[in-house]
Structure 1
Amino acid sequence: MQLKKFYSLAILLLILVSSCGESPKKNESKETGQEVQKDSIATDTIEKEKEKFLLTEENAIDFFFDYQKGLKVDKVKITTEFGSFTVQLYDDVPYHKANFIYLTRKKYFDGTQFHRVVKDFIIQGGSSDDSKTAEKRNNIGRYLLPPDTRKGYNHHRGTISMPSSEIDNPHMLASPFEFFIVVTKPGSYHLDGDFTPFGRVIEGMDVVDKINNVEVGDGDWPHQNVYIEKAEIVK
């Protein structure tokens, strides 16, 4: 009788040990697999959403309307081989300001050029004959910005403004990837009403003048490329 009890206790202990040793491993493996799978799916979804987003004629205005609401910065420093200059953007030209900040944060301007230099008139930047610039534009989107010329700003010397697109454009919609800075003293006021001033140079106007003095060829393109080495937000 005692021997029978002994065997029963032994069998019961073996069952308990077996149960305690195996179940946690199975549960742990299952839970870990589910957790990793969830993280992977979430990451893939976020990346795909980022890749899918492009600015278009249909969504650009709504996008920049929302984007400008949280903007607390208004200065951009542009560095070239001739030195750096800083522009301050106007708060009440919201779409153009938001666009310039957005492109700066996307590093669009880095590596582009001041591709048009007209003596004692303007320097124009934001384009390039480099294929990388076209690739950057494709990755950001295709869109134009409406003019905003009734805020009382004039094209004084040092004003940063946005050129209109070269496409058939009776409404003078702005090409969002390019900008020009007025060099004329005291200004180029014949531009008022046709183009949108959205900021001004507050530091480094001597650098702008140096760029305006480079030698140019046909089409006002500098003989030696003048690159924007870096555009960055500053406080």
Structure 2
Amino acid sequence: MNSNKKILLYFIVSSIAFQTFSQRKRKDYLVTFTTPFGKMHAILHNETPQHKKNFLKLVDDKFYDGLLFHRIINTFMIQGGDPNSKKAKAGELLGNGDVGYKVPAEITPELFHKKGVIAAARDNNPEKASSGCQYYIVQGQVWNDSTLARQMARSPLRTYTEEQKNVYKTIGGTPHLDGNYTVFGQVIDNLWVIDSVASQPRDKNNRPLKDIAMKITCKKMRKKKITKLYAYTFGE
């Protein structure tokens, strides 16, 4: 092959690679949570690539289908992803099931615990590594200046932007969890589904008295379409 053909081939390959990269940048995954109370849609953050990759793999494997929201606390959060919950007997204590590995912490101050946030559950390991499968979705509550200050004082982050403070005072959330758990996603519509799940009757271990099963699916979609459908603006 002569030099001119080599140069032409190089530019063709480079062009294909660039187009593939651009298309990948223009698309992302839309995650759908289906519950007995309705559906809600979510995106996963690129700032937490290990959590995003792990969650999408589990969803693709249909790992979550049929599992329960096994722990609910009104004005706080709803939690699911325990594999033991799929065939659990009524009243059985749940929350200890896992997939045999942890995901390294990817805690970043830009991702905070506002309402609708998807974050990884974890045990008390000092590295703050996440459960490989259990997650929670924040409900939280709306705070005023004085109550928010007390909540933020409990967070290792300590420093908040004015925008973040305003979100906590309007949309709400759980500020004291910031810096302690990895936030890796965000529900972008139908936040009332979280309220419906969180408000159900529960036992002393915060398990719903009536099972609340989930199904989670994902679909790759153009970001512009996600923005048009759900008014969510990507941060890139």
Q: Tell me if TM exceeds 0.5.
A: yes
* Structure 2 portions without partners, runs of 5+: 1-23, 89-96, 142-171, 222-236
- Write the letter of the residue equivalent to 2:125: N
- Total equivalences in the alignment: 158
Q: In structure 1, what is the equivalent of residue 140 of structure 2?
A: 184
Give the Å deviation of 1:142: 1.7
* Structure 1 portions without partners, runs of 5+: 1-69
Deviations 1:43-77 (A, max 9, x none): xxxxxxxxxxxxxxxxxxxxxxxxxxx89533210
TM-score (norm 2): 0.62
Q: In structure 2, what is the equivalent of residue 63 of structure 1?
A: none
1:160 equivalent to 2:118? Answer yes
- Write the letter of the residue equivalent to 2:46: D
Deviations 1:181-215 (A, max 9, x none): 11013111110111011111101211111001110
- Write the letter of the residue equivalent to 2:59: T
> Does 1 or 2 have the higher relative contact order (CA < 8 Å, sep 6+)?
2
Residues of 2 paired with 1:187 and 1:206: CA distance?
Answer: 14
8 Å CA contact retained: 2:68, 2:86: no
Structure 1 residue runs of 4 or more that deviate by more than 6 Å after TM superposition: none
Deviations 1:155-204 (A, max 9, x none): 01111100113xx6121210021110110131111101110111111012
Answer 1 or 2: which has greater helix percent. Answer: 1
Greater Rg by CA: 1
- Write the letter of the residue equivalent to 2:100: R
Residues of 1 paired with 2:30 and 2:109: CA distance?
Answer: 19
Residues of 1 paired with 2:108 and 2:116: CA distance?
Answer: 19
1:76 equivalent to 2:31? Answer yes
Which residue, 91, 102, 107 being the options, matches 1:144?
A: 102
Give the Å deviation of 1:150: 2.1
RMSD, aligned CA: 2.2
CA 1:177–1:85 in structure 2 vs 1: closer, same or farther (change >3 Å)? same
SS in 2 for 1:227: coil
TM-score (norm 1): 0.62
Which residue, 23, 40, 65 being the options, matches 1:85?
A: 40
